[in-house]
Structure 1
Amino acid sequence: MKRRSALVGSLAAMAAATAAKAETPVDLQLVLAVDVSRSIDEVEAELQRRGYVEALTNDRIIDAILSGEHRRIALCYTEWAGTHYQTVVIDWSVIDSAAGARRFADKLAEAPRSSQSWTAVGAALLHAGQRFENSGFTSKRRVIDVSGDGRTNDGPPAEIVRDRLVAQGIVINGLPVMMNRTNFGRPPDLTLDRYYEENVIGGPGSFMIVADNFDQFGRAVRTKLVREISSVEGVLPAPA
């Protein structure tokens, strides 16, 4: 009987610990969903990855993280291409200090890069939205930050998935990268920003920051993350 009571007590303690962990409060749960389709060449992929690595250790972004009620955010980094390739590169991590941000950035810098066929923005949003399920955190804001250089040519329409996620209280922000070169023989998409505005971003306070090319990507990421983390609406902050 004592052994049974001890077992019941242990199970109750484990359940309580799990519940406590599942309710860890943060100011923001943020999924970074990054395009790795074949339209992005090796040099551009390096600029893209470096943009996130450098942004995550930028002083203005650290200050934004530490300015919240809980002084911490939860961050998840995913990469996507076609419907067949949606992957978590770095799972949920608490960022609550400059050292924590550096550890995340170092992991990202060391993570292998992949390049895959097709562009499935809708599937990328669906995969990112699923990351919030059993994330281990609770927050007033859940945001998907999706970046890419093309519009959907595979999988579900982005706007259908966008609307479903927004109905769940998730905000989607965008970072379209405008290209001025041909892509597999096709002319450059000069209205990608309009596509993101009409079909990708959504939810209260949603916005997008446009990068004219991958050389401008790092600056765009820094500006975007400061605004996302600070939950600033209206006037854009000065470029980081």
Structure 2
Amino acid sequence: MHRRSFLAAGLAVPAILGSRSARALEPVDVELVLAVDVSRSVDAEEQEMQFNGYAAAFRDARLIDAMMRGPIGSIACTFFTWSDWNIQEHLVPWMRLDGPESAERFARAIDAAPRRTHLYTSISGAMDFAAGLYGQGYEGTRRVIDISGDGINNSGRDIGAARQDLLNQGVVVNGLAVIDRTPPPPGLGAMQPLDEYYQERVIGGPGAFLMVAEGFESFEQAVRRKIIREVASAPPPGPLVERATA
């Protein structure tokens, strides 16, 4: 090969690599991030209800049918837990879900994930962590984060700034607020109702909505309904706030 031809071939390598890199992102209908609260207000039994609820949702035929009906016929999903501003555990990596078998693999990964509890409730930390997860192997027509929790932000940076960063990325922020009827410790004083807090401070973006679970006993029903609505190809306009009761 002549030196000029060799140089031309060498100069073409970065372009080829760039082209391959651009093709590496697999198209899916939705990139869905599941962010689960494991702060100290969530006891071991309640944490198990959350994990079991998510796993059961992905075994539900209605959810599987919804995720297969999109133009592409698949979604990408990942699952992490969060608590303090600097504690997030990415327990289930991104998976492409396109039918019962892949949905079952995802459910089993949740079943097998470790259960750990930490201290504080940093919704902003969860948002910041989620912001770095998108675009890892998949390119969704829509990007959605599903944040479930039973308390307000009490660790990390301002939640409004964290939410705005996600909205700037084109991410729709949905919430699943778990209303715990346990009386607050003495001296804590009255706080804004959690469903109002999530509606005002957490959710955002086109079509964003809030699912309210009236106690952890209704979590499984709530999360199933919520994810079905999130992955639907052309979801009909729904209420801003839905409620699930045991």
Common fold by TM > 0.5: yes
Q: Following the alignment from structure 1 to structure 2, what is the Cα–Cα distance between the partners of residues 111 and 169?
A: 29
Structure 1 partner of 2:153: 152
- In structure 2, distance between residues paired with 1:77 and 1:188: 32
Q: Taking structure 1 as reference, are residues 94 and 51 closer, same or farther at Cα in structure 2, changes over 3 Å only?
A: same
1:213-224 correspondence runs (5 A):
213-224=215-226
The count of corresponding residues between Structure 1 and Structure 2 is 235
**CA distance 1:204–1:74, shift in 2 (3 Å):** same
8 Å CA contact 1:180–1:188 kept in 2: the answer is: no
Larger Rg: 2
1:34–1:148 Cα contact (<8 Å) kept: yes
Matched position secondary structure for 1:126: helix
| Matched residue, 2:70 | 68
In 2, distance between residues paired with 1:163 and 1:10? Answer: 38
Instruction: Say which is worse superposed, 156-165 or 30-39, in terms of deviation.
Output: 156-165
Bigger strand share: 2
The structural deviation recorded for 1:19 is: 2.8
Q: Which runs of 5+ in 2 are unaligned?
A: none
Q: What is the deviation of 1:136?
A: 1.5
| CA–CA separation in structure 2 for the residues paired with 1:189 and 1:52 | 28
Shift of 1:157: 2.1
- 2:202 maps to 200
TM-score (norm 1): 0.89
Q: Structure 1: which 4+ aligned runs deviate by more than 6 Å?
A: 9-13
* Letter of the structure 2 residue corresponding to residue 146 of structure 1: I
Matched, 1:31 2:37: no
1:1-240 equivalent positions in 2, closer than 5 A: 16-22=19-25, 24-132=26-134, 134-183=135-184, 186=188, 191-230=193-232, 231-235=234-238
Deviations 1:1-50 (A, max 9, x none): 69x79x9598876654433222x110000000100001100110111100
* Distance (whole Å) between structure 1 residues aligned to residue 189 and residue 36 of structure 2: 22
Could you tell me how far 1:84 is from its partner in structure 2?
A: 2.1
User: Residues of 2 paired with 1:163 and 1:13: CA distance?
Assistant: 35
Deviations along 1:65-113, whole A, 9 cap, x unmatched? 1100110000011110011211211111100111000001101101111
Aligned-pair distance for 1:182?
A: 3.1
Task: Return the letter of the residue paired with 1:169.
Answer: G
Contact 1:178-1:189 at 8 Å conserved across structures: no
**What is the letter of the counterpart of residue 56 of structure 1?**
F
Native 8 Å contact 1:129 1:144 kept in 2 = no
Structure 1 residue 166, shift from structure 2 partner: 1.1
- Give the deviation of 1:184 after TM superposition: 5.3
Q: 1:148 and 1:187, CA in 2 relative to 1: closer, same or farther beyond 3 A?
A: farther
TM-score by length of 2: 0.87
Q: Distance in 1 between matches of 2:142 and 2:238?
A: 20
Distance 1:10 1:168, change over 3 A: closer
Q: Which runs of 5+ in 1 are unaligned?
A: none
The one-letter code sitting in structure 2 at the alignment partner of 1:117 is L
Range with bigger deviation, 83-92 or 194-203: 83-92
Whole-Å separation in 2 of the counterparts to 1:40 and 1:194:
20
Backbone CA RMSD of aligned residues = 2.5
Task: Please give the alpha-carbon distance, in whole angstroms, between the structure 2 residues aligned to 1:157 and 1:194.
Answer: 17
Q: Which residue identity lines up with residue 58 of structure 2 in the other structure?
A: L
User: How many angstroms does 1:168 deviate by?
Assistant: 2.2
The CA distance in 2 between the partners of 1:189 and 1:101, in whole Å, is 39
- The separation in 2 between residues aligned to 1:28 and 1:101, in whole angstroms, is 14
